[in-house]
Amino acid sequence: MIKVANISLSFADKKVFENLSFHISRGEKVLLDAPSGKGKTSLLKIMMGFITPDSGEVHISGQLLTAHNTKVLRSKIAYLPQDIAFPKMKVIEFIKLVLDYESNKHIKYNENQVWEMLEHLKLPLSILKQDTLSISGGEKQRIGILIMQLLNREIFLLDELTSALNSELKEFIANYFLQMKQTVIVVSHDEIWQQNSIRKVRW
Amino acid sequence: MGAKDLNLYSMLFAYLLLLIPLGILIFMQVKLVKETIVSVLRMSIQLGLVGIYLKYLFVWDNTCLNIAWLMVMITVSTFSVINSNGIRRRDFFLPVMGALAISLFFNISYFNFFIVKISDIFNAKYLIPISGMLLGNSLKGNIIATNTFFDYFKNREKEYLFTLSLGASREEALRPVVRECMKRSLKPTLASIATIGLVSLPGMMTGQILGGSVPTTAIKYQIAIMLAIFSTMAISIFLVILFLKNVSFNKYDVMKRNIFIKGEN
């Protein structure tokens, strides 16, 4: 599903990591386990094409990530950071705006599906009418998850997603992702992800 | 008929007006005294030179020379926009200059040909002062628009990247940014258009009335010039953002890091 081959990255002559290689299979749950400052978040951003590494390759679904196919490969990935930044508008308007992007046009807005997902994510229906700036961090993240699910993303990159949540919500979110069939890659200092069912990639 | 000339004593009295504000600045210990003096000196020298230059420009009234002077005005404006953003001249000189030049040449030609209806649209007496007004105002708008654009990426890039990750194309992800740039830069001008006559009698009108025009003529010119200013601003802002979009991003649709000169970003 994802192959990272001999990737090196440095910022202003400071080496972040060197010749990093690993492979992640479809449906696997993986925790990137490295000390702070060792470029875990940067690695997720490299997979998204937000940062270009000094050398090395990333393959997603068997395709080498290049400038030409970034958009296509990005559309397979859900990148969810801790502080998801929504533009200011009503939640429902934002969901519809996303579905209106040219590359998402084939996905139709299905009210029943959204309601079911809200329930599954323990969110009230009324949240759809709320302003994106007025909802809490935990709610924002779950709306982010909901949208990515609507977009049928195959790979989830979670960047400290649960860090600011209370323990109950942490557990709920962790279980949510561990039970899904999609591939999940986690960067987190939370104990909750230190489980046996999650493979650790260390450097 | 023209406005009464101001002699040396008149100008001396004009400069004397500075004494009270300077006194206030010194008394209140606002550290603007040096800046005030430098600004006034700069204005005096610049206008003095332009006065001499314009005198000959109007006498010679040579199309090539007139256009060359416009290009000087556009170049100075271009540097002003670029410097206010701390971006690299090498990358942005042509895009910014292009936006200002296209918008100005279109609007000044339209103004002189269709509104003033002069046969030689490059006549110095019309071309230079009116272009100055159009360019001066769109310069302000362009500075606000480009600052808004780059500030967005300095402070809210996450929002843009998240939108990209949701499947938006660069164009789609930039749409809200472009709207914000247009809105912020055009609003002050719209506000001044809406209060004109009530709060201020603008410079052009005052000048024409002092120069001997009847108020109705002055008012018609003022309306036309305000509309031309708005048009020049909107077109140049639209173009400058359009051109910036093309040079500011890498092949992955992420804003390039090396477009800012050191010390910025």
- β-bridge pairing A183-187 and A29-33: parallel
Per-residue pLDDT of chain B (265 residues; tens, 9 = 90+): 577 889 999 999 999 999 999 999 999 999 999 999 999 999 999 999 988 988 898 899 999 999 999 999 999 999 999 999 999 999 999 999 999 999 999 999 999 999 999 999 999 989 999 999 999 999 999 999 999 999 999 998 999 999 999 999 999 999 999 999 999 999 999 998 888 887 777 778 888 888 888 989 989 999 999 999 999 999 999 999 999 999 999 999 999 988 888 654 4
**Does residue A66 register a pLDDT over 90?**
yes
Say which of B158, B161, B251 has its CB closest to residue A67. Answer: B251
- The verdict on B45 and B125 lying in the same domain is no
* In a domain? residue B263: no
**Alpha-carbon distance values, A192 to A32, A162, B61 (Å):** 14, 9, 80
A165–chain B nearest CA distance, Å: 20
In a domain, B264, yes or no: no
Chain B closest-CA separation from residue A153 CA (Å) = 10
In a domain, B259, yes or no: no
Task: Look at residue A127 in the predicted model and tell me its pLDDT.
Answer: 96
- Together in a domain, B111 and B12: no
Looking at beta carbons, which pairs linking B147-154 to residues 24 or more positions away fall under 8 Å? B147/B84, B147/B85, B148/B177, B148/B180, B148/B181, B148/B184, B148/B185, B149/B177, B149/B181, B149/B241, B149/B244, B150/B85, B150/B87, B150/B260, B152/B177, B152/B180, B153/B248, B153/B255, B154/B265
How many beta-carbon pairs under 8 angstroms link A with B? 58
Asked whether the beta carbons of residue A85 and residue B166 sit closer than 8 angstroms, the reply is no
Query: pLDDT tens digit string along A125-183?
Result: 999 999 999 999 889 999 999 999 999 999 999 999 988 888 888 899 999 999 999 99
Where a domain ends, among B9, B37, B60? Answer: B60
- Does the distance separating the beta carbons of B250 and A103 come in below 8 Å? no
Tell whether B232 is covered by a domain. Answer: yes
Domain boundary among B34, B60, B86: B60
Q: Are residues B77 and B157 in the same domain?
A: yes
In a domain, B252, yes or no: no
What average pLDDT does range A28-36 have in this prediction?
A: 93
Helix ranges (DSSP H) in chain B: 8-16, 19-27, 33-60, 63-85, 89-110, 124-155, 157-165, 170-195, 203-210, 215-247
Give whole-number Cα distances, B89 to A161, B81, B178, B224, B251, in Å. Answer: 40, 10, 22, 34, 21
- CB A81 to CB B158 under 8 A? yes
Distance CA A96, CA A155 (A): 22
| Cβ-based contacts of B166 with chain A (< 8 Å) | 98, 101, 104, 147-148, 151
Closest chain B residue to the Cα of A95, Cα to Cα? B166
Residue span(s) of chain A under CATH 3.40.50.300 come to: 1-76+154-203
Over residues B69-111, the pLDDT tens digits come to 999 999 999 999 999 999 999 999 999 999 999 999 999 999 9
Give the total number of structural domains in chain B.
2
Q: Which of A70, A102, A148 sits opposite B172 (nearest CB)?
A: A102
Quickly count: other Cβ atoms within 10 Å of residue A69's Cβ.
13
Q: The CATH number of A1-76+154-203 is which of 3.90.1150.10, 3.40.190.10, 3.40.50.300, 3.90.180.10? A: 3.40.50.300
Asked if B38 and B151 sit in the same domain, the reply is no
Q: Report the complex ipTM.
A: 0.92
Q: What residue of A is the nearest CA neighbor of B172? A: A101
Could you tell me if residue B62 is left (phi over 0), alpha (psi between -120 and 50 degrees) or otherwise beta? beta
Total-model pTM: 0.86
- Does residue B254 form part of some domain? no
Are residues B176 and B145 part of one domain? yes
Residue B15 located in a structural domain:
yes
- Cβ contact, residue pair B166, A102, below 8 Å: no
- One domain, residues B44 and B126: no
Count of CB atoms situated within 10 Å of the CB of B260: 17
Chain B CA closest to residue A82: B158
Angle A88-A94-A99 from CA coordinates, rounded to 5°? 150
Cβ-nearest to A151 among B167, B250, B251: B167
Interface test with B, best of A73, A89, A98, A159 (most B CBs within 10 A): A98
Contact B252 A87 (CB under 8 A): no
List of chain B residues whose C-beta atoms are within 8 Å of the C-beta of residue A87: 159, 163, 176
Q: State whether B111 and B29 are in the same domain.
A: no
Parent domain of B55: 1-60
Contact B158 A104 (CB under 8 A): no
What integer pLDDT is reported at residue B175 of this predicted model?
93
> Which candidate in A10, A41, A50 is best for mutational testing of the B interface (most B CBs within 10 A)?
A50
Cβ contacts of B251 on chain A, cutoff 8 Å: 67, 70
Q: Are B167 and A74 in contact (CB < 8 Å)?
A: yes
Q: Is residue B175 in a domain?
A: yes
The answer to whether A79 contacts B167, with C-beta atoms less than 8 Å apart, is no
- Looking at the fold, whether B113 and B227 belong to one and the same domain comes out as yes
Measured between beta carbons, which residues in chain B are less than 8 angstroms from residue A84?
162
Do B56 and B69 fall into the same domain?
A: no
* Contact criterion met (CB below 8 Å) for A194 and A39: no
Q: What is the DSSP letter of B119?
A: S
pLDDT of residue A116: 93
Q: Which residues of B touch A (CB under 8 A)?
A: 156, 158-159, 161-169, 172, 176, 250-254
Residue B235 sits in the same domain as residue B200: yes
Tell me: do B52 and B66 sit in the same domain.
no
C-alpha radius of gyration, chain A, whole number = 17
Question: Does A103 sit within 8 Å of B169, measured CB to CB?
Answer: yes
Domain boundary, last residue among B12, B35, B60: B60
Do B55 and B154 lie in a common domain?
Answer: no
Cβ distance A86 to B252 less than 8 Å, yes or no, reads no
